[in-house]
Structure 1
Amino acid sequence: MRDLQEKINRLAEERQERLIDILRTLVAFETVSPPARNTEEAQSYVKDVLLNLGFETEEWELFPGDRIVAGTKQGERSEEYQSLLLNGHMDVVAVGDEASWKYPPFVITEEEGLLYGRGTSDMKGGMASSLFALELLQELGIKQKGDIFFQSVTGEEAGEAGTKSCVDRGMKADFAIVADTSNLEIHGQGGVITGWITIKSKETYHDGLRSRMIHAGGGINGASAIEKMAKVIEGLQELERHWAITKSYPEFPMGSTTINPSVIEGGRNAAFIADECRLWITVHFYPNETYEEVAKEIEEHILAVAMADPWMKNNPPLFKWGGKSMIEERGEVFPALDVDHTHEALAVLKEQHQTVSKRKAVVSMSSTVTDAGWLGAAGIPAVIYGPGKLDDAHAVDEKVELHQLLEHSKVLAGFIAKWCSTERSNTHDEAEARAIY
């Protein structure tokens, strides 16, 4: 295997211009989200690359103008050998004011070993190095025994869960690598869910009646929904502080379970007492929790707060959690992903990383979230392992180090060659583990 890895390393160095060319092509597609609905050309390119690599492909629309491309390359002995799923997203975040960029955002600029352009770090760099790794194996004539699957999804940046649409179609594998931004560390992640809390009065009152609401003899049992939302926010802060001292998880700083009041909306205009107020919150949770559990905790706590308020007791807060799109529904979910430290594939990946980089592999938890959570939620053992630094992701003059892209390709190609030539254990339940599209 070491001889093969050395061949992979030499070929990667010789062909590095091809890696840059793949990334240059991907970055040139302006797949910004929002507005999204703009990935068809980019996905057609990925499809062509996969077809040239011997993959069978299928595709479907997540939203009009945003397609998912999934590829299957069947191994010579699929029933007996381990399968692998490679996953990445094609959408990138908005550029903002282009005048603030030194380098053009949709053109690759090389300078002192760095490649600049929107998406180079998050995560077209990881997409490019993954495709390049597959090309290296093809050029070396390596034929895998287990199946390889490739998912090029959309919607990750807007919580539109393109990866969820893949698992909803029954796509599975024995192990998955999401090549999202991780600085070549092996990551799991916490989870995120957004929610809307609404306070709504049964009656609507003119501003001129406020004086009759605020003293005992006024005769109107009413309230401003905006003022009552302040109590809800205070209750959320109380729960957040409670979580900070009662919840913990390895590799996360204390207090990583947060409840962020992100957006507040309410009222009609200055001539009315606000009869409705809506609060948009973002909740981070640990891998040993589900979004259903944390949503239930929040609801129970806030309803208890409401029961202690004479008006809210009869006008209790309403809750709406998650959603399939930050653009269409103003809501999203990213399940958490734990890392199975005993999984055979993790040991192989760590070994390949150390062999190529000469550095011990770091296994940790990401401070952000990715589509990897949807794979884990579907029962697919998965990790995040990709090039790029979070400091550079979403930034003006986004960049990635060329040597990281090359290193990722070398590690990934070696890992694929080894993992997809690993026999399944006799005790493995093939009926569940067999990768099927």
Structure 2
Amino acid sequence: MSSIEKQIADHVDSARDRIVQTLSDLVAFPSIVKSNPKDAGPGERDCQLYLQKRLEALGFETDLWDPDGPALYAKYEGRPGANKGRTFEGRPNLGGTLKGTGGGRSIMLTGHIDVVPPGAAEHWSTDPFVPVLKDGFLHGRGTVDMKGGVACMLMAVELLKELGIELRGDVVFTTVVDEEIGGMGSLAMVDRGFRADAGIMTEPTANRIAPLCHGILWGKIIIDGIGGHAELTPNAWYTSGPVDAVQLCRQMLDGIDIINRRWMFDPKKNHPLMDLPNQIIVTQVTAGEHPSSMAGRAEIIIDAQYLPSEKDEFGLGGHVKREIEEHVHNICQADPYLRQHPARLEWILDADCAEIPADNPFVSVFQQATEAAGLSPALSGFGAHSDIGLPTGLGNTPTVNFGPGDPAQAHQPNERVSVQDLVDCTKAIAVAVTKWCS
């Protein structure tokens, strides 16, 4: 470890309580994203105003704006991040630039401040938006996903400023909304012109460098049966019904299990940095209309993953969509009723993915920084979706995931992050910024 790296590490260690307090401040804003963006409360805006004030105190030139959702959709329809119906009134993005002395490489530190709803209060042992420090962990919604990372990237820059370390390159800082509902906030950020020579997105990776993430497809499989009395002997379905949509739903679920088993051994569905193969995960099932009636309809919501190598000509998951559509068609062919009344598949979301090559110069620099912070330099995959594809692809800013916390804690009740993870992450980012921008 060099003398400047030790100086950074010691200063971050001394700022442990300040890092925790910064994250506590962020968690206290209930910046919940909603399916209907017009239902969103002031939490997102209040959180961004807090961050803007902190950035301006450090000398950043800031930009706080409400993106124009319909205009973005019209401009980028059919491209990554373009989701119809998203609006941003009172839900601003924040960007800022801290100018370097000149002649150095720039870096973008980026993250999202929206969080998913906390769910049932009885599932939490604490108030989700009242941060609680207990046994070396800070508890609260967003501590892992991903206000913990936002706190670390803010504190990394603040602590470098306090040490008087001059950077030749610019530091670009962006925090977006709407990530948890499709990523249009990141699209708006890149469209606004925020970019750099390299980027760190502080999604939770347990402080491992993840230059790869999955693409995600959300789809709805609609199965129409024929409703009828559940307790009477039915006529044949081909005369007057009924046809039980629950039974048809079971067949469809069995068929999804079959394709998942096939994908387990398909080289196209596996990546050496990913712990698991691509999967089609059933996340919601709805069926039936009345306790004494056979279900006339069933709906299955799926979450399907794809890898960067599977992207179509638009940078999205069109090839995998067609693969799943063909499989659903084949499932229907195995049933005489579904053969005549096939299930319908409606696509809800296509969130893109990216992979930064391991030999990218920034990856090498960042690996050195993690080692200096006492962390493993080994690369890993980020199993969930993140927005790195938008700055990487559209913004020409090769961006990796790196952030504190166990990613399995994301979206869970009693979400919590280790204070040591926060400290180690702040060290690694501060050293990486110094190495890259100086």
Asked whether the two chains share a fold, i.e. TM above 0.5, the reply is yes
1:59-113 CA deviation, whole Å, 9 max, x = no partner? 2245344321122233343xx5422111112123444455665555433433454
**Contact kept in structure 1, 2:95 and 2:194, CA below 8 Å:** no
1:331-350 CA deviation, whole Å, 9 max, x = no partner? xx433332410010011111
Distance 2:189 2:144 in 1: 24
Distance 2:392 2:233 in 1: 52
1:411-431 CA deviation, whole Å, 9 max, x = no partner? 21221122123xxxxxxxxxx
**Contact kept in structure 2, 1:334 and 1:374, CA below 8 Å:** no
| TM score, norm. by length of structure 1 | 0.81
Q: CA deviation at 1:373?
A: 4.0
Q: What SS is found at the alignment partner of 1:66? A: coil
Structure 1 vs Structure 2: percent identity of aligned residues?
Answer: 29
Residue matched to 1:50: 55
C-alpha spacing 1:102/1:271, structure 2 compared with 1 (3 Å)? closer
Residue matched to 1:26: 26
Out of 19-28 and 9-18, give the one that drifted further. Answer: 9-18
The partner residue of 1:380 within 397, 409, 412 is: 397
Q: CA deviation at 1:367?
A: 3.1
CA RMSD of aligned residues (A): 3.1
The partner residue of 2:187 within 164, 167, 171 is: 164
**Residue type matched to 1:178 in 2?**
M
Q: What SS is found at the alignment partner of 1:180? A: coil
Task: Report whether the alignment pairs 1:60 with 2:84.
Answer: no
**Residue type matched to 1:54 in 2?**
G
Distance 1:271 1:110 in 2: 50
Give ranges in structure 2 of 5+ residues lacking alignment. Answer: 68-86, 312-316
Distance 1:298 1:396 in 2: 32
Residue matched to 1:118: 141
Residue matched to 1:289: 310
**Contact kept in structure 1, 2:208 and 2:376, CA below 8 Å:** no
Q: CA deviation at 1:207?
A: 4.9
**Contact kept in structure 2, 1:236 and 1:298, CA below 8 Å:** no
Residue matched to 2:213: 189
The partner residue of 1:250 within 272, 276, 289 is: 272
Q: Within 5 A, what are the aligned runs for 1:153-302?
A: 153-187=176-210, 188-200=212-224, 207=229, 211-214=234-237, 219-220=239-240, 223-247=243-267, 248-253=270-275, 256-269=277-290, 274-290=295-311, 291-302=317-328
Distance 1:252 1:13 in 2: 32
How many residues are matched? 403
Residue matched to 1:343: 360
Residue matched to 2:417: 400
The partner residue of 1:138 within 161, 167, 173 is: 161
The partner residue of 2:94 within 47, 69, 85 is: 69
**Residue type matched to 1:192 in 2?**
I
**Contact kept in structure 2, 1:126 and 1:181, CA below 8 Å:** yes
**Contact kept in structure 2, 1:36 and 1:91, CA below 8 Å:** no
Residue matched to 1:11: 11
**Residue type matched to 1:351 in 2?**
Q
**Contact kept in structure 1, 2:136 and 2:418, CA below 8 Å:** yes
Out of 371-380 and 80-89, give the one that drifted further. Answer: 371-380
C-alpha spacing 1:120/1:219, structure 2 compared with 1 (3 Å)? closer
**Contact kept in structure 2, 1:84 and 1:420, CA below 8 Å:** yes
Q: What SS is found at the alignment partner of 1:366? A: coil
1:126-170 CA deviation, whole Å, 9 max, x = no partner? 111110111122223334332322121123334454223323445
C-alpha spacing 1:228/1:398, structure 2 compared with 1 (3 Å)? closer
Out of 94-103 and 294-303, give the one that drifted further. Answer: 94-103
| TM score, norm. by length of structure 2 | 0.81
**Contact kept in structure 2, 1:192 and 1:282, CA below 8 Å:** yes
Distance 1:416 1:185 in 2: 16
Structure with larger Rg: 1
Q: What SS is found at the alignment partner of 1:240? A: helix
Residue matched to 2:81: none
